[in-house]
Structure 1
Amino acid sequence: MPSLITRVKSKLFIHSSKKSTHALDGAYASLMRGRSHDFEDLREYQQGDEVRDIDWRATARKNVPMIKRMRADRMHTILFVVDAGRGLSALAADDRPKRELAVLAVGALGVLALRHDDDFSMVWGDAGGVKRLPPRRSEGALEHALRTIDAASLPEGAASDRERLLDFVARTIARRMIVVIVTDEAPIAGDTERLLRRLRTQHDVLWLTLRDADPVLRVSDGSARRDVDTGWVVPGFLHGDQEVLGEIDERHAADTARRDALLTALEVDHAELATQDDAVPALLRLLGRRAARVRT
């Protein structure tokens, strides 16, 4: 089976012509807390870097803005919390399984963590149980984590249980971490909100929503839509119905607004990932917003 990290890196490299990879590096670095005075090296200034880190003498010599990189006082741990129930086997907005989008999101942030010498860990599970991978710092461990996500999210698997995952983290993870929750579009119920409030006092929390494919097709082309939890198939006559599509769009917009308002009120930085092509830019915007908030 081809390396999943290689697939993730190819997505990052596709965007590197737009300097997205460098910008992600800068945004990732700037949101990390803890700085030291031990000089490590110089590199060119990239979007998302701190202006205060510019080395003006080196900039004058090279005629391009240069950044002083300092060795971190301590390592950080990124904890990926992946809602790996059978819902991840459903289609994302680009008609590919959502588990591929989860692999890309975890893989991209995991690659950044490794580039910055940070550890990562992962908690995943469903209604059948919760498991955890211990903190690691290697591409081999990240590949294993990505393959775990890919293998765990199958149509015949157990249903999602987001509250169980969050409760596990709240009860068992004492050390402060950057917690990245990767989940689907299910509404944030009262128990989820309560657990998020608790987690927010214990950790730095980011929330990634994987957007579902539209349940009703814009144009009827003979394709089918099936709910992975119930097996219910959307009747063919609904596809292409503009009135139905309008109602679905309104409902999605309202649900998204409620979710985003709640997460903002809880000071949980969040992003919605819809397709393989927009995932990296969406992560860049998320990290950029978070870095700006951390600096203020």
Structure 2
Amino acid sequence: MERRLRKVRTTMSIHAHRRTLELLDGEYASIHHGRSHDFDDLREYQPGDDVKDIDWKATARSHVPLIKRYIASRQHTLLLVVDSGRNMAATAESGTTKSELAVLVAGVLGYLATRHGDRVALLAGDEQRVLHEQEGGSEAHLERLLRRIDEAISVDGPRSSLAQVLETAVRRMRRRALVVVIADDLAYTHDLDVHLGRLQARHEVLWVSIGDADLMARRGDHRELVGVESGIGLPPFLRRDRGLRRAFDEASAERRARLEEGLRSLGIASVRVAEEATAIGTLFRLLERHRRARR
């Protein structure tokens, strides 16, 4: 059986040149920069930085305002909250399964965390169960988490209930953590708003949506599709109907806009991962957006 983590690392190498990987690595590290006795490096002063952090001697030598950055001495926890309901077994926008993209996203972020000495934990669930894996900091532990995600998602599995998984995260996570929610292309609901608001009050929360497939056959795929949630087929002739396509596009755009608006109102940075080839760049934008929002 192929190791999930090895596949994640291979994908990172294929789809991101060295500079992008270094930036992704740096953006993850910058989330946890804090004041301690461990000096990290110097960087150019930017509006919003604390004036107390300016290194005046280095500034005098370079003629550019430079500030000191410190590495927080404590170990951090990355909590992966994953929707493992049967919707995540459906086809993603790129043609691969959503579960594969979810494992890739979890693997990339988990790998960055372990590289920085942080610990990774997992909560994955559906309407019938919530799987909890305690935090750990080794690659073997991360491999086990990725396998649990992959094995939990099945087209024959229970329906999704992300609100239930988030409620469990609120109850169990007492110590401050970086929480990354990996979910279906879903609608924003009152329950999500309540649980995310409680999580965001205690932790730092990021959101990754796994993009739905284009059901309207615009890429030349005229197979009959069956919804994993309903089990009802969508005949090819309906998918080619222009009016239905327009209504589908409008409904999808409205659902995504409501989700983005709800997350933005809570101060949660979010992105939508549609395919493996662009996942690395998309995650980089997520980390950068989160870092900028915290200034």
Query: TM-score normalized by structure 2?
Result: 0.88
- Alpha-carbon contact 1:113-1:120 (below 8 Å) kept: yes
CA 68–13 in structure 1, closer or farther in 2 if over 3 Å, else same = farther
Identity %: 36
CA 78–240 in structure 1, closer or farther in 2 if over 3 Å, else same = same
CA distance in 2, matches of 1:249, 1:163: 26
Query: For structure 1, which runs of at least 5 residues remain unmatched after alignment?
Result: 61-66
Q: Provide the secondary structure at the position in 2 that maps to 1:19.
A: helix
CA distance in 1, matches of 2:144, 2:69: 30
Which residue in the other structure is 1:143 paired with? 143
Which residue in the other structure is 2:294 paired with? 294
- Which amino acid in 2 is paired with 1:5? L
CA distance in 1, matches of 2:22, 2:43: 10
Which residue in the other structure is 1:63 paired with? none
Query: Comparing 248-257 with 111-120, which one deviates more in the overlay?
Result: 248-257
Number of residues of Structure 1 aligned to a counterpart in Structure 2: 284
Which residue in the other structure is 1:126 paired with? 126
- Which amino acid in 2 is paired with 1:217? A
- Which amino acid in 2 is paired with 1:180? V
Which residue in the other structure is 1:195 paired with? 195
CA distance in 1, matches of 2:91, 2:155: 11
CA 289–220 in structure 1, closer or farther in 2 if over 3 Å, else same = closer
CA distance in 2, matches of 1:139, 1:12: 16
- Alpha-carbon contact 2:181-2:208 (below 8 Å) kept: yes
Which residue in the other structure is 1:240 paired with? 240
Query: Comparing 122-131 with 9-18, which one deviates more in the overlay?
Result: 9-18
Which residue in the other structure is 1:177 paired with? 177
Q: CA offset at residue 198 of structure 1?
A: 1.2
Q: CA offset at residue 256 of structure 1?
A: 1.2
- Which amino acid in 2 is paired with 1:223? R
Q: CA offset at residue 129 of structure 1?
A: 0.9
Q: CA offset at residue 43 of structure 1?
A: 11
Per-residue CA deviation, residues 214-260 of structure 1 (Å, 9 max, x unaligned), is 22211554412211011111012123333322222222112111111
Report 1:68-217 matches (<5 A): 70-217=70-217
Query: For structure 2, which runs of at least 5 residues remain unmatched after alignment?
Result: 62-66
CA distance in 2, matches of 1:224, 1:24: 39
- Which amino acid in 1 is paired with 2:243? E
Runs of 4+ in 1 over 6 A off after TM superposition: 42-45
CA distance in 2, matches of 1:262, 1:173: 22
Query: TM-score normalized by structure 1?
Result: 0.88
CA distance in 2, matches of 1:128, 1:29: 36
CA 2–194 in structure 1, closer or farther in 2 if over 3 Å, else same = same
